[in-house]
Amino acid sequence: MHQFHRKSNCGFWMVLLLIPLFTFTGLAQKDFNQEEKEMIRDFRRSNSHYLDGEKLYKKGKIDKAVKKFEECLEIFPKHDKAHFVLADIYLKKRDLENAEKHILAAKQGFKDLQKWYSFTFQQYLDTLREQKDINNEQIAGLEASRGTAKGLEKSRIEARLAQLKSQNADADNKLSEFMRSGAEMPAEYHYIHGNVYFLTRRFQDAVNEYTKTLEKDPTHGGACNNLATIYFMHKRIDKAREYFDKAVECGAQVNPKFKEALEKAEGK
């Protein structure tokens, strides 16, 4: 059987991981009603359990991680990332009923929290831009004084200029990355859902989810590989070849036996 391939949406996850550092306090004071403010507080309480679970998951302590994710969801049932990781865990265990339950909850949770994500995403971009403006003011002042500075003082000014310009370059990279990713549902949500459909033999639904995966991430090799497999199973050899080649181009691990079977079906 082919191997599933995972590729994360780094920009999106990075924004969300940064949210607890500076965002929710501001959110509780602006643009949200009392009920939403209470939900924000619950999110912050639940997120500590999620982060603990994430650490345990990365260390391979799956059962302990599951417990932490469940504790997170007891406090905040809409925590989409907790549902997403649980869906992935249950998918690997071939507990498809629980995998489907959690990926559906992850997608619904993300939709319910879209207002938060859009607001926090924009706030993060604004913070980066504001920091660049502050840096540019300092750069202008330092460059004006550099002409008359000498010796150690000039060296200090040049070192500070290099530091500020490096910070601005880093901010530009982040702005570019986050503007591309946006506050959209990650491709992996659709990919995991597609895998659930694939393993429960709901192939048209799987195709739909893999197609959505590629709309968000055209380089997702796993989605290409799985689409190739589905089309091959349904004797759509031309489409199977198209997606197989895309999977290879994207660096996905493909099953050598599948390659042989595809070439045989093509008469090679």
pLDDT digits (tens, 9 = 90+) for 188-217: 999 999 999 999 999 999 999 999 999 999
Cβ contacts of residue 150 below 8 Å, gap of 6+? none
Look at residues 69, 88, 114 and tell me which one is the last residue of a structural domain. 114
Mean pLDDT of the chain: 84
Q: What pTM did the predictor assign?
A: 0.69
**Residue of higher predicted confidence among 12 and 195:** 195
User: By residue range, what is the domain housing residue 55?
Assistant: 10-114
pLDDT of 4 over the 70 cut: no
Cβ contacts of residue 220 below 8 Å, gap of 6+? 5, 7, 187, 191, 213, 214, 250
Look at residues 145, 161, 181 and tell me which one is the last residue of a structural domain. 181
159 and 67 share a domain? no
27 and 107 share a domain? yes
pLDDT of 13 over the 50 cut: no
Number of domains in the chain: 3
How many Cβ atoms from other residues are within 10 Å of residue 83's Cβ? 25
Per-residue model confidence (pLDDT) at position 114: 75
